[in-house]
Structure 1
Amino acid sequence: MVTKVLPLIICLVWLASGVYSCSCAGFQHPQDQFCSSDYVFYGKVTNEQFISGPADDTANNFATWKYTFNIIFKMKGITEGVGQDVVIETAGNGALCGIRLTVGKSLILMGTEQADGTKRIGLCDFVSQLDNLTPYQTFYLFTRCSYSYHRNCRMSCKIGPNSRDCKYDPFNTNDGTICLAKKALCRREGQRCRWVNNETC
């Protein structure tokens, strides 16, 4: 009887403890992240606000960080204009994929938008300072020409391990995968998509 009850007790204790973990789907290609994101913009963090959860929420599982951004450049899914503010929310607990941002820093964000219009960002999303991008990534992000993430998302170019044209394994973080993320674009050419600028990968 003890051997049957003990696993149940352990399970209940684990559930009651509020233990969570954040798990990301490998090392996504930034073009793939751009295409799957609801919004993408470059902006400066101007304010940080912590919204606490219930009084007994000591782990901050129900808390929220709210960040106000002043928009510098819009790329996708943002109705506010350049120079206007947008509020981005993230979980109050890092184990729930919440992230802390620094007031005063300018960042590129790719995130999700909920049904009520709330914009969210998390640990698994794309968050980067401009000077951390390669020249290739910067060009693909800030243009809308045929060599851009934006244009080729609209052309339905697919990136992934099962892609016929632009194979990419997010769980195999070797030099080739990292090189594709930093340099290559999956571009529509006629009836097919193919990697470009991948010659050294």
Structure 2
Amino acid sequence: MTWAVNSCFVTLAILCLWRVEVGEACSCSPAHPQQAFCSADVVIRAKVVGVQNVEVGNNIYGYPITQTKYDIKQIKMFKGPNQDFDAIYTPSSSATCGVTLETNGKEYLITGRLNDDGKIHVTLCQFGMPWEALSETQKKNLIQRYEMGCECKITRCTSLPCMISGPAECLWTDWVIEKTVDGEQAKHFACVKRSDDSCAWYRGAAPPKKDFLDIEDP
């Protein structure tokens, strides 16, 4: 099993932008890439160079708890502390939201949380995909635009009609329009705050007059 952009299973509201089988115990709501960026402690581009299972403690019955440790070579830090990380950790089973990566030097965009132990932990509930699978707009948005919209709220539309509750909100309609959470808004748009403190979808690659997509539009 590998993370891949072309396999997306939404089961019990689980978002997986990696090619994985998801166990019933792993449940999380779909997130737009910008939401994943804003909620993550660490966002990096990294090359995976090795893997091993490590013990991290014991459960209440005294049995060892294992995690998968991926050795990485950090290429770029988009968000996080000013340091280089050489490993990420994930649950050892997809049923507990563990991810499976290719270890042949494949490059990934990785979002994760930074635990008190100073280690990056990642799960299926966070956004991640092979670097080569990202759109050019997504790569550019990682530099600045996603961060500009972290005060905005992205609301996912699951069925029509749907609406926003305030001006500082963007309606995410990929699922109802394209039946995927990896649609046009996920690939090419960021929800950013404007000068009047309202929020709207922004596509930097579009001609100037069409940079903003009105929040009322699907």
TM-score (norm 1): 0.73
Name the SS for the 1:62 alignment partner.
strand
Match of 2:74 among 67, 71, 90: 71
Aligned counterparts, 1:10-159, within 5 A: 21-26=25-30, 28-52=31-55, 62-81=65-84, 85-103=85-103, 104-141=105-142, 143-144=143-144, 148-153=145-150, 156-159=151-154
The count of residues paired between Structure 1 and Structure 2 equals 169
Give the superposition deviation at 1:46: 1.9
Alpha carbons 1:41, 1:78 under 8 Å: kept? no
Match of 1:193 in 2: 199
Runs of 4+ more than 4 Å apart? 52-56, 198-201
| Cα distance in 2 between the residues matched to 1:32 and 1:52 | 31
Aligned-residue RMSD, C-alpha = 2.9
Alpha carbons 1:149, 1:185 under 8 Å: kept? yes
CA deviation digits over 1:126-154, x for unaligned, max 9?
1211221112111101x22xxx112332x
Alpha carbons 1:49, 1:67 under 8 Å: kept? yes
Alpha carbons 1:111, 1:122 under 8 Å: kept? yes
Alpha carbons 1:184, 1:196 under 8 Å: kept? yes
| Cα distance in 1 between the residues matched to 2:124 and 2:79 | 20
Given residue 46 of structure 1, which amino acid in structure 2 is its aligned partner? V
Give the superposition deviation at 1:52: 4.7
Give the superposition deviation at 1:189: 1.0
Describe the shift of the 1:30–1:52 C-alpha distance in structure 2 as closer, same or farther (beyond 3 A).
same
TM-score (norm 2): 0.67
Larger helix proportion of the pair: 1
| Cα distance in 2 between the residues matched to 1:54 and 1:74 | 29
| Cα distance in 2 between the residues matched to 1:116 and 1:52 | 14
Name the SS for the 1:150 alignment partner.
helix
CA deviation digits over 1:81-135, x for unaligned, max 9?
4xxx422100011100011211111111011122232210111211211221112
Alpha carbons 1:50, 1:64 under 8 Å: kept? yes
**Larger Rg computed on CA atoms:** 1
Give the superposition deviation at 1:61: 8.5
Q: Percent identity?
A: 28
| Cα distance in 2 between the residues matched to 1:77 and 1:189 | 25
Name the SS for the 2:132 alignment partner.
helix
Describe the shift of the 1:55–1:186 C-alpha distance in structure 2 as closer, same or farther (beyond 3 A).
closer
Alpha carbons 1:68, 1:86 under 8 Å: kept? yes
Alpha carbons 2:57, 2:64 under 8 Å: kept? no
Alpha carbons 1:160, 1:168 under 8 Å: kept? yes
Give the superposition deviation at 1:174: 3.8
Give the superposition deviation at 1:66: 0.6
* Residue 167 of structure 2 is aligned to residue 166 of structure 1: no
| Cα distance in 2 between the residues matched to 1:40 and 1:163 | 29
Describe the shift of the 1:52–1:159 C-alpha distance in structure 2 as closer, same or farther (beyond 3 A).
same
Describe the shift of the 1:160–1:24 C-alpha distance in structure 2 as closer, same or farther (beyond 3 A).
same
